[in-house]
Structure 1
Amino acid sequence: MDLQISVFLLFILFTAGHSLRCYECNDPMGSCANQTIETCPVGSSQCLSTTAMTQVGDIHSKVSVKSCAPGCLNVSMNLNILKMTTSCCNTDLCNAKDNSDPSTNVPNGKKCFSCDGNSCLNIMSCSGTEDRCVKATEASGGQSIVVKGCASKSICDFASLFGVDGISCCEGNMCNGAPSVSQSFLFLCCSLLSYFLLH
């Protein structure tokens, strides 16, 4: 009996002492030069690394985030003014390396329509794991805001699994619809970015 209790207590001590550790940073300047090591709380089983870039006219912005996560999806998305990649792993300090700059990913041959604020007639080359064309629509202030671009299958699966309205994906080249015009889609892009970073 004492042997069983000793083995049980030893097992509890061993498993309690081994929590996942991930690098953590939230750098609005784009590089995680000052990252720290975080012991993940109970329920977090993945390390996350995300890089997002926005470009509106001549204004460029890059944000990098690393942290523990309860769940995570490897995703890549390019909506012309917003480019984002997220990678996930599940071993200690596996998110040490920064995600590659989304703008440097190698084209994969897929082509999709994209929007630039005035027209959705632009054709973009998808890269990396972006194997779907995506179209996202949101009504704001009586106006329909449309963004189009490239996305990885995991973003499309996530949107359909959780019933995210206004996002549709397709597999063929330039299958994301007839051209449409949008005056402003920065609001939608920021909403999409915050949704994927915070969920």
Structure 2
Amino acid sequence: MRLLALIFGIVFLPKVYTLTCNECELGKTGTCAPKLKECPSNQKCGAMRLTSYVGGFKMVDYTSKGCSSAEECVEASFNFGVGRTAVANKCCSSKLCNANPAPEPSKSTPNGKKCFYCDTTQDCSRTLDCEGSEDYCISSKLTVAETKVTMKGCASKFFCSGKSTAEISQFTGGEISCCQGNFCNSASSTSAGLLLLVAPLLSLMALF
């Protein structure tokens, strides 16, 4: 009877397939030398690209490849006024389908949402037009050079999920909070200058 049950189990139970994907670490575009990776059965192959602009200049253009869960297969961004970072993770479901690098995140346009941000004159009552999928307002409090820095702006839902905010907070040692509704991240001043505002922005980018 046990042998019969085993035979029926092998025949009728669904097989657990894993997917072979290209994998390489986050690095500058063109420097990604992939190796093969067996992904868990609930994940897809992903090719990610992260771009960031500060003051209108592209500061970061990184790519990576690997296994991605369904919630990671998105285009998302956050914007703190002094700089904007966007992530595009293109996913697919066949063997080694992530051979090509991900394209740059789609060019976005204002979506009608508005949030407060902190400018270089230490004023956090400035208004920012959110773009693309940025449908949340975000506030961040970080410690840089023993100085408490407050940053505000717009963010996509991806960066406001419980898992993402927990990871960002753990990495930066700061507090991240999100809310929905125009200007829900309140206007308040901060003593941070331009260098202190840019430093935590670069720290957040290093997380991805």
Q: Could you say which residue in structure 2 is the equivalent of 1:129?
A: 133
Q: Supply the AA of the counterpart residue of 1:143.
A: T
Q: Could you say which residue in structure 2 is the equivalent of 1:22?
A: 21
Q: Could you say which residue in structure 2 is the equivalent of 1:66?
A: 65
Which of these residues, 191, 194, 199, is aligned with residue 206 of structure 2? 194
Q: Could you say which residue in structure 1 is the equivalent of 2:117?
A: 114
Tell me the TM-score normalised to structure 1 length: 0.71
Q: How does 1:1-199 map to 2 (within 5 A)?
A: 5-6=6-7, 8=9, 15=15, 18-26=17-25, 28-30=27-29, 36=34, 38-42=36-40, 45-57=43-55, 58=57, 60-69=59-68, 72-73=71-72, 74=74, 75-80=76-81, 81-87=83-89, 89=91, 91-92=93-94, 98-101=102-105, 104-119=107-122, 120-158=124-162, 162=166, 164=169, 166-181=175-190, 182-183=192-193, 184-195=196-207, 197=208
Looking at structure 1, the residues matched to 120 and 163 of structure 2 have their Cα atoms a distance apart, in angstroms, of 24
SS in 1 for 2:189: coil
SS in 2 for 1:173: coil
SS in 1 for 2:206: helix
Query: Post-superposition shift, 1:111?
Result: 1.7
Looking at structure 1, the residues matched to 166 and 59 of structure 2 have their Cα atoms a distance apart, in angstroms, of 31
> How large is the Cα RMSD of the aligned pairs?
3.7
Map Cα deviations across residues 122-158 of structure 1 (whole Å, 9 max, x no partner). 4332222210011111123331112222112232222
More deviation, 64-73/148-157: 64-73
Looking at structure 2, the residues matched to 49 and 185 of structure 1 have their Cα atoms a distance apart, in angstroms, of 30
CA contact (8 A) 1:139 1:145 kept: yes
| Total equivalences in the alignment | 192
Runs of 4+ in 1 over 6 A off after TM superposition: none
Q: Supply the AA of the counterpart residue of 1:187.
A: A
Looking at structure 1, the residues matched to 178 and 143 of structure 2 have their Cα atoms a distance apart, in angstroms, of 19
Q: CA separation of 1:41/1:7 partners in 2, compared to 1, >3 Å: closer, same or farther?
A: same
Looking at structure 2, the residues matched to 138 and 8 of structure 1 have their Cα atoms a distance apart, in angstroms, of 54
Tell me the TM-score normalised to structure 2 length: 0.68
Unmatched 5+ stretches in structure 2: none
Looking at structure 1, the residues matched to 64 and 184 of structure 2 have their Cα atoms a distance apart, in angstroms, of 32
Query: Post-superposition shift, 1:83?
Result: 0.8
SS in 2 for 1:130: coil
SS in 2 for 1:28: strand
Query: Post-superposition shift, 1:5?
Result: 4.4
SS in 2 for 1:178: coil
SS in 2 for 1:189: helix
CA contact (8 A) 1:136 1:166 kept: yes
